[in-house]
With several copies, the nearest count.
Chain A
Amino acid sequence: MTCTAEDLVRALRAVAAAVADHRAELTELDRVIGDADHGENLRRGFLAVVTKVDSADLDTPTAVLKAVGTTLISTVGGASGPLYGTAFLRAANAVTEKSEVDGPAAAEALRAALGGVVARGRAEIGDKTMVDALSPAVDAAVAAAEAGGDVAAVLAAAAEAADRGAESTTPLVARKGRASYLGERSAGHLDPGARSTALILRALASSAGAR
């Protein structure tokens, strides 16, 4: 099984729905160690993404991903906007010239996305950011692809690892982003960006698995 531009658009609608459903949860996580806007930022961004991909005529995965990236950058704001935006732009680059994304390409796209987040945000694993969810997700995706997994399998593995990665941020002291201002007081709370990364990957995986 692979993933076409059309599949991707469907998956993005699922992501937007998931983000909207979890808006209050993300906001609450961000309220505790940040500034309470992460849920609203992503809701606004993915609403714009859905409007964008529904209205534009995007017939390749790269075109869809690029539209997602630019839309997120121009609508989300905050730290997560440029980070997620860059992630999608890099993923778009990773799948140029493909009309369908297969397992290995999906893993490659995720690796590129992580590269974009790190290039922009310079966070390392353990800094209590979305990198703590995305980085293990990439490893799991690569392993699944190497094991011959299709897109659904690769994304499922990534989502699974991202969930665990997000959970792992709870005890950490933040060293990047707004939560770092809290110092030791940031420990004991889940990172909102790590949680949203896990949510997004889970929605992508479910959408792929449902086909």
Chain B
Amino acid sequence: MKKIINDPSTVVAEALRGLAAAHGDLLRVHEDPAYVARADAPRRGKVALVSGGGSGHEPLHGGFVGLGMLDAACPGAVFTSPTPDQVQAAVEAVHGDAGVLLVVKNYTGDVLNFETAAELASAEGIDVRTVVIDDDVAVKDSTYTAGRRGVGGTVLLEKIVGAAAERGDDLDACEALARRVVANVRSLGMALTACTVPHVGEPTFTLAEDEMEIGIGIHGEPGRARVPLEPADGIVRRLVEGVVEDLPFVEGDRVLLFTNSMGGTPLVELYLAHGVAERLLAERGIRVERRLVGPYVTSLEMQGMSLTLLRLDDELTELWDAPVRTPALRWGV
């Protein structure tokens, strides 16, 4: 295993120290239990947005703490959901008496830990709501699975609902908006290589030199199917088709297209893939009105990408465009 770390068991704590040093103007890091909070939290009268999940997906979630996005993020161990006491402490630190919305990616661990935290915080008299995001079309959503995973759509949800909270929407409105985003966002990812979890020391799966994995998760877990490697046109076509046909997105839809790197894929490839996706969507008459391109929901050093489409309306577009000032997303301010 080749990593710039000291000890697998201190990776997250040490990275948080670096995050705090790098972005002291935007956020504060609390060490035990570990959470990242907006520097100016709590904001009285503002709905607080709190998220979290396993580490190793950076900049998700800590890189999205700041004005117009998250009030707090709770990082678990690498690829392991945080514990309820982290979430509870974060909620108590940042809530501004206007309620708290928990943004939870749909994994059994995250759901159970946030659920427990919500119970604890509610017992303290804080109005806590939970929205679960499950945008990954790779997973069959049925009573016979844990349901779809939350992946790339999480960033879009955090940005849009963060903007709503920032402009003063109340908890009901924020919760309803979050559900609207969930209802209109879909993602699909793929990997060329696996990643190595520090305490495991070897890749989570292996792919031959001529194979790729479609429908990959963001925790180094295998995906839906292993198929022969294809040129970018073929790869992106698979992702576009998977995403578009699921909702489905149809001719005339206005969308936000998010082309995401799993971490190890260089920007030159990502922009290339983004160009292909724009072309394929144009062919279907789907109008890309906003874009995000970069490594935002990653899986350590995994090479691969995902596509996320969000169906836009005027309000979602306005909230997407609204000012945001976080380590990883910043505009308008």
Size category of the binding interface on chain B:
35 or more
Cβ of A26 to closest chain B Cβ, rounded Å: 11
Of B78-86, B162-170, B248-256, the segment with at least 4 beta carbons within 8 Å of chain A is B78-86
The verdict on A79 contacting B220 (CB below 8 Å), with A40-B199, A73-B83, A177-B146 known, is: no
Distance, CA A77 to CA B81, complexed state (A): 5
Task: Please state if B83 and A41 are interface contacts (CB–CB under 8 Å).
Answer: no
**Chain B residues in 8 Å Cβ range of A79:** 81, 107-109, 112
Within 8 A of B (CB), among A32-78: 34-37, 40-41, 44, 73-78
The verdict on A35 contacting B83 (CB below 8 Å), with A40-B77, A41-B77 known, is: no
Within 8 A of A (CB), among B142-185: 144-146, 149
Question: Is the C-beta of A161 less than 8 angstroms from some C-beta in chain B?
Answer: no
Size category of the binding interface on chain A:
20 to 34
11 A-B pairs besides A35-B197, A40-B200 with CB distance below 8 A are: A35-B80, A35-B204, A35-B219, A35-B220, A37-B77, A73-B84, A82-B113, A176-B108, A178-B107, A178-B109, A182-B221
Q: Name which of A74, A80, A185 has the most chain B CB atoms within 10 A of its CB.
A: A74
Distance, CA A180 to CA B199, complexed state (A): 24
Task: Please state if A181 and B77 are interface contacts (CB–CB under 8 Å).
Answer: no
Q: Name which of B79, B205, B219 has the most chain A CB atoms within 10 A of its CB.
A: B79
Task: Please state if A76 and B83 are interface contacts (CB–CB under 8 Å).
Answer: yes
**Chain B residues in 8 Å Cβ range of A182:** 221-222
Question: Is the C-beta of B99 less than 8 angstroms from some C-beta in chain A?
Answer: no
Task: Please state if A178 and B204 are interface contacts (CB–CB under 8 Å).
Answer: no
Within 8 A of A (CB), among B81-125: 81-85, 107-109, 112-113, 115-116
Cβ of B223 to closest chain A Cβ, rounded Å: 8
Distance, CA A31 to CA B217, complexed state (A): 13
**Chain B residues in 8 Å Cβ range of A75:** 83
Distance, CA A34 to CA B116, complexed state (A): 22
Residues on A facing B (Cβ under 8 Å):
27, 31, 34-37, 40-41, 44, 73-83, 120-121, 175-178, 180-183, 185
Q: Name which of A36, A83, A181, A183 has the most chain B CB atoms within 10 A of its CB.
A: A181
**Chain B residues in 8 Å Cβ range of A34:** 221
The verdict on A178 contacting B81 (CB below 8 Å), with A83-B112, A121-B108 known, is: no
**Chain A residues in 8 Å Cβ range of B81:** 77-79, 81
**Chain A residues in 8 Å Cβ range of B80:** 35, 37, 40-41, 77-78
**Chain B residues in 8 Å Cβ range of A175:** 144-145
Task: Please state if A82 and B222 are interface contacts (CB–CB under 8 Å).
Answer: no
Cβ of A38 to closest chain B Cβ, rounded Å: 9
Cβ of B118 to closest chain A Cβ, rounded Å: 12
The majority secondary structure among interface residues of chain B is loop
Cβ of B169 to closest chain A Cβ, rounded Å: 31
> Contact mask B250-291 → A, CB, 8 Å, 1/0?
000000000000000000000000000000000000000000
Task: Please state if A121 and B217 are interface contacts (CB–CB under 8 Å).
Answer: no
Q: Name which of A34, A76, A77, A178 has the most chain B CB atoms within 10 A of its CB.
A: A77
**Chain A residues in 8 Å Cβ range of B107:** 79, 178
Nearest first, the 3 closest Cβ-Cβ pairs linking A and B are: A82-B112, A35-B219, A78-B109
Question: Is the C-beta of B140 less than 8 angstroms from some C-beta in chain A?
Answer: yes
Residues on B facing A (Cβ under 8 Å):
9, 33, 54, 76-85, 107-109, 112-113, 115-116, 138-140, 144-146, 149, 197, 199-200, 204-205, 217, 219-222, 224
Task: Please state if B200 and A77 are interface contacts (CB–CB under 8 Å).
Answer: no
**Chain B residues in 8 Å Cβ range of A27:** 199-200
Task: Please state if B221 and A44 are interface contacts (CB–CB under 8 Å).
Answer: no
**Chain A residues in 8 Å Cβ range of B149:** 181
**Chain B residues in 8 Å Cβ range of A177:** 108, 146
The verdict on A81 contacting B113 (CB below 8 Å), with A35-B219, A74-B83 known, is: yes
Distance, CA A78 to CA B80, complexed state (A): 5
**Chain B residues in 8 Å Cβ range of A78:** 76, 80-81, 109, 113
Cβ of B206 to closest chain A Cβ, rounded Å: 11
Residue of B nearest to A78 (CB): B109
**Chain A residues in 8 Å Cβ range of B76:** 77-78
Residue of A nearest to B217 (CB): A181
Distance, CA A175 to CA B80, complexed state (A): 20
Distance, CA A82 to CA B116, complexed state (A): 8
Task: Please state if B140 and A82 are interface contacts (CB–CB under 8 Å).
Answer: no
**Chain A residues in 8 Å Cβ range of B220:** 35-36
Distance, CA A181 to CA B116, complexed state (A): 24
**Chain B residues in 8 Å Cβ range of A81:** 81, 83, 109, 112-113
**Chain A residues in 8 Å Cβ range of B197:** 35-37
**Chain B residues in 8 Å Cβ range of A36:** 79, 197, 200, 204, 220
